[in-house]
Structure 1
Amino acid sequence: IYSVSNEIKANINGVTASRYRDGGNEIDILVQLTEDDRAQILDLEQIFVTNSMGQRIPLSSFAYYERGESPVSINRENQMRTIHVTARKIDWRQSSGEVQRLVEQIIRENVVLGDDVRLTYGGSYESLQEGLNQFAVIIIMAIILVFAVMASQFESFLDPFIVLFTIPLSVIGIVAVYFLTGSPLNMITAVGALVLVGIVVNNGIVLVDYTNLLRKRGYSLEEACVEAARSRLRPILMTTLTTVLGLLPMAFFPGEGSEMTQPIGQSVLGGLSFSTAMTLFLMPVMYYIFNRIREKRAEKRLRKVARKEGKSVK
């Protein structure tokens, strides 16, 4: 079969017999049947094949032909036959996840797969999943570093923990702005989320630091929370507003070639706006709750010590 295939291929497609040199160029000398002798399928009957005894035998004496279809090539991966089906998005506003779900639905409704057939998805969707997994690790590392810096600044583990509550709030803002604009979530969105980790904590740091200062001046816990939220309202709003206004052109009025920067602008704008609004209301409450719990535990420990020493603490 191999010799028959090679003979047909040599007669129809030709075989390089030699090369002609013209200066520094080489030109292949191709030997094949003339155009008239290979124009029709019937011409295959005129092809001769050499057998193991060196005899020339016409192909028509032991083979027949018929029209049919066969794969141009057979690809294998890990010794398994593989077929690659590729497609391209028509609507750029669709995310890779949406296209993936659409493809899975079409295959599920229209294609019957045997038990020996396995589907795997790759391309931009696979790259997106791998990139998001990597960015998840990077964002976690960034949060740990931010926590370490704040812990050294506040000399406490509780205050940085309170400030970190602004990060989940920023995620809600990111999802909200993408939902309102109809833009797809992509890899650049994760970059914007990474940038937000170092930005959204700033307002919380300002608020918690000023609350601690008021506590040192003799304010009660409740008075310090209320006064800090009231007096820090204007500085926090002004700094956030200047950042948001600066990001508006990049987020909603992009120019040509700004497809890579627009998602970052939308992520930072949405996350910062929502987290700032929630920080002004939620952060004092969180500060009050956690510090009230800490004070109660401290009072409980003092009472235990006092009972052991035969004293009373009122």
Structure 2
Amino acid sequence: EIPFSTVAEADLGRGYASINRTDARRVVSVTADVDRSVITAEEVLSDLSRGYLNDLLKDHPRVALSLEGEQRQSGEYLVSLVFPFLIALFVIYALLAIPLHSYTQPLMIMSVIPFAYVGAIWGHQIMKQFDLVAGIAMMSILGMIAAAGVVVNSSLILTYTVNRLVSEGEALDDAVVNAAVTRCRPIILTSLTTFVGLMPLMFNTSVQAQFLVPMAVSLAFGVTFATVITLLVVPAIYRVFEDIGGLITGLRSPAVATESTL
């Protein structure tokens, strides 16, 4: 027998209560709760990935990192929304194409959808200055998807008015201008009533409402910004589409004339 001190040194400290392994690899789980009134989980992970975690993975190449729990479920949930969202866009296109009897006008009407996303992002930046939201969260994405189905209403009204004026014999340029002028008030009022209706939820500071505030911000600001863009962009796109259609018709006419001559 020999003294233990001659072969090793012992330090008193806290030991592991248990050692977890997955696929024979040692696993350490790190969990935390996020105060959504200050910051979102996505922002925390983004900051860690650019800083501490990036340095940790470089210094220890054998260490692997994976998101589990709620974050993994959120990521999988967002990925699962892609296909239903594409289906929703196709259904919107079909519902617009059938009554309009056109393949191009639904695309023109739906061209304002990306501007709703821009408005939603700007809305989060504005509300973040007042500490009402921490950033873009999962519910913000759901609000953007909902806004896609709302913002097409203003474009549809404007396009329908232009079509009606043209069918009554009005020149296209005059019809585009008159439609934007005559439908400006109802389109803006519709957007403002939507925004005002969502204000109580956007400015609600209770803990119970914090989960829904990002969705309300996306919907309110997305619809409002897209409405303003609708009055400017849709008439211009309508005129561009008509010019392209006239150009295509002009290219086809000589070919038809040549065939008839032959």
* TM tier, smaller: 0.7 to 0.9
- Residue 116 of structure 1: how far off its partner (Å): 2.3
Asked whether the 8 Å contact 1:193–1:267 carries over to 2, the reply is: yes
> Among 119, 122, 140, which residue is 2:65 paired with?
119
Map residues 151-190 of structure 1 onto 2, 5 A cutoff.
Answer: 151-182=97-128, 183=133, 184-190=135-141
Counterpart in the other structure of 2:179: 228
Task: Please report the TM-score for the alignment, with normalisation by the length of structure 1.
Answer: 0.73
How many corresponding residue pairs? 251
> Among 88, 101, 105, which residue is 2:33 paired with?
88
Partner of 2:29, secondary structure, is coil
Q: Which amino acid in the other structure matches residue 108 of structure 2?
A: I
> Among 76, 79, 92, which residue is 1:130 paired with?
76
Counterpart in the other structure of 2:93: 147
Q: Which amino acid in the other structure matches residue 188 of structure 1?
A: M
Q: Describe the shift of the 1:63–1:91 C-alpha distance in structure 2 as closer, same or farther (beyond 3 A).
A: farther
Per-residue CA deviation, residues 33-76 of structure 1 (Å, 9 max, x unaligned), is xxxxxxxxxxxxxxxxxxxxxxxxxxxx7996955564322211
Q: Describe the shift of the 1:254–1:200 C-alpha distance in structure 2 as closer, same or farther (beyond 3 A).
A: farther
Asked whether the 8 Å contact 1:189–1:267 carries over to 2, the reply is: yes
Give the structure, 1 or 2, with the largest relative contact order (CA under 8 Å, sep 6 or more).
2
Larger radius of gyration: 1
Are 1:215 and 2:155 matched, yes or no?
no
Relative to total residues, which structure has the larger strand share, 1 or 2?
1
Unaligned runs of 5+ in 1: 1-60
Rounded Cα–Cα distance in structure 2 between residues aligned with 1:86 and 1:255 = 25
Of 77-86 and 135-144, the range deviating more from structure 2 = 135-144
Aligned-residue CA RMSD (Å): 2.4
Counterpart in the other structure of 1:15: none
Divergent runs of 4+, >3 A: 61-70, 107-113, 253-256
Unaligned runs of 5+ in 2: none
Partner of 1:200, secondary structure, is helix
Counterpart in the other structure of 1:260: 211
- Residue 168 of structure 1: how far off its partner (Å): 0.3
Asked whether the 8 Å contact 2:147–2:219 carries over to 1, the reply is: yes
Identity over aligned residues, as a percent? Answer: 25
Task: Please report the TM-score for the alignment, with normalisation by the length of structure 2.
Answer: 0.86
Q: Which amino acid in the other structure matches residue 103 of structure 1?
A: L
Are 1:74 and 2:25 matched, yes or no?
no
